Amino acid sequence: MIKVHHLNNSRSQRVLWLLEELELPYEVVRYQRDPKTMLAPPELRAIHPLGKSPLVELDGQVLAESAAIIETLCERYDRGHALSPPPQPLDGEERRRYRYWMHYAEGSAMPPLLLSLVFSRIKSAPMPFFVKPVARGIADKAMSSFVGPQLALHLGYIESELGKHEWFAGERFTAADIQMSFPVEAAAARAGAARPRMQAFVERIRARPAYQRALEKGGPYSLLG
């Protein structure tokens, strides 16, 4: 049995979705974030030293990191390559794009989204009144000079790429779309109608029966907390 250590409002929702797409049986162990700090509970550290989610137990081993988990599950269970590129040709376009987007999701797309969240929380965090102008000034400067431009750059890039293909790896849905779902949903929630291709992607994935079943198993989630 595959065991998923599932934290609410987290990337582990993608793992549940993948398992539903693969039609595999699995067990969900639920954890809740601290309502004040939004951090994962210390119990997760008993499973993995970093105490983060997603974590998957498979044959006595603990798998961590979303892309590594997704790639491992696809290599093991997606024998017909319904959700992943076939092994040949090694330099195939779908294979190249699949690998790229699988790692772009966390390596490039998520950092500016998370920084945007951090600085917005700094501006609204409780603090002495005489500190607030300084903290807000620093946060505004960071957003305007670095985070904001980086966010716009990546959102524009994703929007452009979705204009080339309906799905990230090409003309068919793959696990790369599952991996990219978290940053795209988070970004689309902020970009609104300004990014119609991203909005259309979100509508397509949310219409998938496996996506809907995963939400029933994992519960609704608020992106980026």
Q: Rounded to two decimals, what is the model's pTM?
A: 0.91
Residue-wise pLDDT tens digits, 140-182: 777 788 888 999 999 999 999 999 999 999 999 999 999 999 9
| Nearest of 71, 31, 73, 70 to residue 48 by alpha carbon | 31
Query: How much is the pLDDT for 225?
Result: 44
Write the CA distances from 125 to 1, 37, 41, 84, 129, integer angstroms: 43, 11, 21, 43, 11
Query: How much is the pLDDT for 66?
Result: 96
Q: Quick check: 131 pLDDT over 70?
A: no
Q: What percent of the chain has pLDDT over 90?
A: 68
Q: Quick check: 210 pLDDT over 50?
A: yes
List the Cα angle 7/12/13 in 5-degree steps.
100
Mean pLDDT comparison of 7-11, 137-141, 169-173, 184-188, highest-scoring range: 169-173
Mean pLDDT across the chain, nearest whole number? Answer: 90
Query: How much is the pLDDT for 38?
Result: 78
Measured in whole angstroms, the distance separating CA 18 from the mean position of its chain's CA atoms is 12
